[in-house]
Each structure stands twice: as C-alpha cells, then as structure tokens.
A and B are shown apart, each in its own frame.
Chain A
Amino acid sequence: MVMSWFWATIGCIFNAALVLVLAPLFEGILRKVTARVQSRKGPPLLQSYYDLFKLLGKEDIESGEAPWAQRFAAWLSMGVVLAAVCFVPMGFRAPLGGAGDALVLIYLLMLGGLCTLMAGLAAGSAYSLLGMSREMMLMITLEPLFAVAMIVGAVHANSLRLDAVLGGAVYEGRFGVSGLLMLAVSMASFQALVQRVPFDIPEAETEIMEGPLSEYSGPKLALFKWARMAKLVVYAALFVALFVPWGSGLPFPVGWVLFWCKMLVLVLVVTLVAATHARYRVDQAVRYFGGMLVIAVFALILATYGY
C-alpha cells in the first residue's frame, strides 16, 4: 500500500514536470509552423520558454477590482491543469488513473474555464467582463460535449473508472457508430477546448483585447499562459488516449514514442486549422456547438443501446 502511494506520487510529479517542461516546446512548434504557413521565418523554437522566463521575472503588479481574486485565478488555472495531469496517461498508465473516475476529470477541466470567469470578474473592466460572458456562453455548450465523449466511453466500458474509460473504450473493441460519431464531434470542437482560433472568442485580441487577460501582467500572466500551453498538451493526451489508443500498449520506448508522435500530429492539425480560419462570432460558435451537442447526445443514445 505504501509503495503504491509512493509510486503514484512519483508518477504525478513526473507527469506534471513532463507537461510543464514540454508544453512550451509544443507551443514553440506551433508558432514555428504557423510562421511557415504565413511565409515568415518565425520565432526560435525555444521562444515560448524565453517569454515565460521574461514574464516570471517581471514585477508583480496588483491591478483590477479584486487583486486577490486575480492572483487566485492565475494559481487556480495552473493548479487545475496540474491536477488534471495526474489523471491523464502520458504514454504510461495515468498515475492516479485508479483513484478518480471520469466525472472527476470532467469537473477538473471545467474548473479551468471557471478560472477565466474569475479572472474576468477580478479585472472588472468592460472588456474583461465581455470576455467573461463569452467564456460562460462557450462553456455552457462546450463542456457537455467533452463530458458526453467521456460518458460514451464509460457506457461502453460499463464503468466510470478512468483507466477503463481511457484506452479505446469508446470503440468498444470494434468500430461502433457512437464512437466514430464522438470522434468526429471531438475533432470538430477540439480547437475550442484548447482555446485556439477559430474559437478563441473569449480572448479575441482584435475585438475585446484579450478579454479576461487584459488586466494581467508579469508572473500572473505567465501562469495563465503556461496553463494554456499545458492545456493543449493535456487535452491532446486525453484525445489520444480516448480515441487513438492503438499502439500505446507496446513495450516501453516504442509505445511511449508512438504516443508523443500522435500528440505531435494532433498539435500540427490544430496549428493548421488555426492558421487557416477566421474567428467565429460567439453566437455562431454557440449555434455550432449546439449542433454538435445534438449529435453527441444521439451518439450517447446509440451507445446505451450498444452500437
């Protein structure tokens, strides 16, 4: 018992460190590819690390309506991602995979959105409040999508345990219609889950000036940015674990490398989609996700009937 706790803790720390260290690299790759698509040279691959270091070294300015809430929101956003990391397999079995069920993960990731709300409220400027209301609208339609994806897996696996849900349970061994539907839905809404164009609506720089983040600077901004980068990795890992599990069971170096290669491909797809799309308006996005939700619920019904 003691040993398993020990290994779980080590695993958590390892996962968190891995995500924290690799997230800026993924962001760097994303920026470099974006630059190539835009006929630019682009920043150095390690630029995201430099940015974070620079921001972390800056003066911590208290601003906005409620500075404590602002700071709390920044810490919480980072904390949520780090907590979620413990439930997500990163090429290995998730360190706390047996400790929580799918619902814990759903709530944890939802908490990430709440951080943005709190940040917007704490800043209290017109633009951050606008960003907050947009985030709220998106959350209402977006989060159920993700929940349904997990639950479809859970229905197929007949268990809410994470290690059962993750690992390809959505297809239930064969290619069930519901699993494929959920794959399509998740692909179509993945940009929004990781807050990239065309669904970076709550932060739309050219409309509402980064919205909730407009009052942030220095270390707090660094935390938010870092959390956002990590979010990309976490969601990508979740997506791979849920929908593209093949090969992860292979022996150590092969399976591990394969896992990260799949993540990389996913990040590249995200980049290309982000680089070739215009931002949607919030009402268009909500309508879009509404449609997706209908499909997702349909898939859930199919899943309960065993398709």
Chain B
Amino acid sequence: MSLLSKIRETVLCLKAGRVTLPYPAEPRPVPPRFRGRPIFDAAKCIGCAGCANNCPAREILVHDVCQELRIIQYLGRRCTFCGRCADVCPEKAVTMSHDFETATNAIADLSQRLELFMSTCQRCGRCFPEPSPLERLKLKGYRFDDVASERWIFHSKGYLDAESTVADIRIDLD
C-alpha cells in the first residue's frame, strides 16, 4: 500500500475543512447576472410579441382578442430561463429576476398574463418599431395562440377560425 500517498491524501482532505453550504436553511446569494424567472412589466410592454417569437420553449402566447386588446401570456411551465425574451425586448419590459425556487403545486402560479391596450397603426396594423433584420425573419405577422387552453399554435398549422381573428391583419399560414 502506498502509505505515504494515502497520508498525503488525508492531509489534503482535512486541510480543506468543511465546504458544504447549509443551503436550504440559509439562502445563497446569486450573482448579478443570474438568470431566474423572467418578470414581465405590463407598464413597459408595447405588445410587439418579439419575446413570443423568440422563445425557444414556445412558452409565451399572444392572442388578439380584438383590434384594441392584446393578451400576452407567459406560462412558465417548460421555461428554461434562457433569457432570450429579455434579450430581444426593445423596451426592456422583460427582466430576468433572481428568483429560482419556483416549485409549486399549482402550475398556474408560474404564469403571468399581460392585457395590453394597443393603439395600432391605421395603415398596417403594426405598432412597434421595425425589428432588426434577424428578428424580422421570424415575424410573419402576429401570432394567434390558443390562450384559453394555453397552447401554442404552430405557424404552419394555424387552424384558427377566420371569425375569431381580426379581419385586417393577414395571418401568415406558411
């Protein structure tokens, strides 16, 4: 047995002292850039739906109830806290909070719902500045997600009734 090596290992181990943290008992502070649960600020949001179009998990739904009222709903079920919504938001209405202990028995606790009064452009129906070319790639008209049953409707399978959509906005069914 390599006794010397064993003794060296033991000394090495004991020298370090206790390093485990009493985590659940005491909260551990997180660094400033930490990405926790995104928080949507209805006061800043202009309803451009860039977050919804860029969400890799497709967890942000957009539904226009009528010309003047847009609902943006964040579900938070599959959200991976990647922070893309905060990246692309032109108004910084989405911030990544430091809140990561989000375990809950009621999944609805995680969702956030924004009801936005929109003043639309009379000519094109849009109401936000021209996005960057890369983002423009994805903005094929507005999304009309099924907010009631909390599901995202795939672009190429948009099976919404014509009646439930606003007439002067072209739905892109590619």
User: Which listed residue, B9, B10, B19, touches A39 by the CB 8 Å rule?
Assistant: B19
Q: Which residues of chain A are within 8 angstroms of B10 by Cβ–Cβ distance?
A: 37, 272, 275-276
Interface residues on A, range: 10 to 19
Given contacts A276-B6, A277-B6, contact A41 B18 (CB under 8 A): yes
Interface residues of A in 8-55 (CB under 8 A from B): 36-41
User: A37, B18: Cβ atoms under 8 Å?
Assistant: no
Q: From residue A74, how far is it (CB to closest CB) to chain B in Å?
A: 34
Q: Which residues of chain B are within 8 angstroms of A39 by Cβ–Cβ distance?
A: 13, 16-20
User: B13, A37: Cβ atoms under 8 Å?
Assistant: yes
Interface check B43, CB cutoff 8 A: no
User: B13, A38: Cβ atoms under 8 Å?
Assistant: yes
Given contacts A276-B6, A277-B6, contact A40 B13 (CB under 8 A): no
Please, how many angstroms separate the alpha-carbon atoms of A39 and B15 in the complex? 9
Interface check B162, CB cutoff 8 A: no
Q: From residue B3, how far is it (CB to closest CB) to chain A in Å?
A: 10
Could you mark each residue 6-43 of chain B with 1 if its beta carbon is under 8 Å from any beta carbon of chain A, else 0? 10011001101111101000000000000000000000
Q: From residue A216, how far is it (CB to closest CB) to chain B in Å?
A: 30
Could you mark each residue 90-126 of chain A with 1 if its beta carbon is under 8 Å from any beta carbon of chain B, else 0? 0000000000000000000000000000000000000
Q: Which residues of chain A are within 8 angstroms of B20 by Cβ–Cβ distance?
A: 39-41
Q: From residue A93, how far is it (CB to closest CB) to chain B in Å?
A: 36
Q: From residue B26, how far is it (CB to closest CB) to chain A in Å?
A: 13
Please, how many angstroms separate the alpha-carbon atoms of A276 and B8 in the complex? 10
User: B6, A36: Cβ atoms under 8 Å?
Assistant: no
Instruction: Across the interface, name the chain B residue whose C-beta is closest to A198.
Output: B1
Q: Which residues of chain A are within 8 angstroms of B9 by Cβ–Cβ distance?
A: 276
Q: Which residues of chain B are within 8 angstroms of A36 by Cβ–Cβ distance?
A: 14, 18
Please, how many angstroms separate the alpha-carbon atoms of A40 and B22 in the complex? 11
Please, how many angstroms separate the alpha-carbon atoms of A211 and B39 in the complex? 50
Instruction: Across the interface, name the chain B residue whose C-beta is closest to A277.
Output: B6
Please, how many angstroms separate the alpha-carbon atoms of A277 and B17 in the complex? 20
Please, how many angstroms separate the alpha-carbon atoms of A39 and B9 in the complex? 12
Please, how many angstroms separate the alpha-carbon atoms of A41 and B18 in the complex? 6
Please, how many angstroms separate the alpha-carbon atoms of A277 and B20 in the complex? 22
Q: From residue A166, how far is it (CB to closest CB) to chain B in Å?
A: 28
Q: From residue B11, how far is it (CB to closest CB) to chain A in Å?
A: 10
Interface centre among A38, A41, A272, A276, by most chain B C-beta atoms within 10 angstroms, is A276
Please, how many angstroms separate the alpha-carbon atoms of A36 and B13 in the complex? 8
Please, how many angstroms separate the alpha-carbon atoms of A39 and B19 in the complex? 6
Q: From residue A206, how far is it (CB to closest CB) to chain B in Å?
A: 19
Q: From residue B8, how far is it (CB to closest CB) to chain A in Å?
A: 10
Please, how many angstroms separate the alpha-carbon atoms of A275 and B6 in the complex? 10
Instruction: Across the interface, name the chain B residue whose C-beta is closest to A272.
Output: B10
Q: Which residues of chain B are within 8 angstroms of A276 by Cβ–Cβ distance?
A: 6, 9-10, 13
Q: Which residues of chain A are within 8 angstroms of B17 by Cβ–Cβ distance?
A: 39
Interface centre among B9, B13, B19, by most chain A C-beta atoms within 10 angstroms, is B13
Please, how many angstroms separate the alpha-carbon atoms of A38 and B18 in the complex? 8
Please, how many angstroms separate the alpha-carbon atoms of A277 and B5 in the complex? 11
Please, how many angstroms separate the alpha-carbon atoms of A276 and B9 in the complex? 7
Give 26 pairs: A residue, B residue, CB < 8 Å, sorted on A: A36-B14, A36-B18, A37-B10, A37-B13, A37-B14, A38-B13, A39-B13, A39-B16, A39-B17, A39-B18, A39-B19, A39-B20, A40-B18, A40-B19, A40-B20, A41-B18, A41-B20, A41-B22, A272-B10, A275-B10, A275-B13, A276-B6, A276-B9, A276-B10, A276-B13, A277-B6
4 residue pairs, one from A and one from B, having the closest CB atoms: A39-B19, A39-B16, A276-B6, A37-B13
Apart from A37-B14, A41-B18, list 6 A-B contacts with CB within 8 A: A39-B16, A39-B17, A39-B19, A39-B20, A276-B9, A276-B13
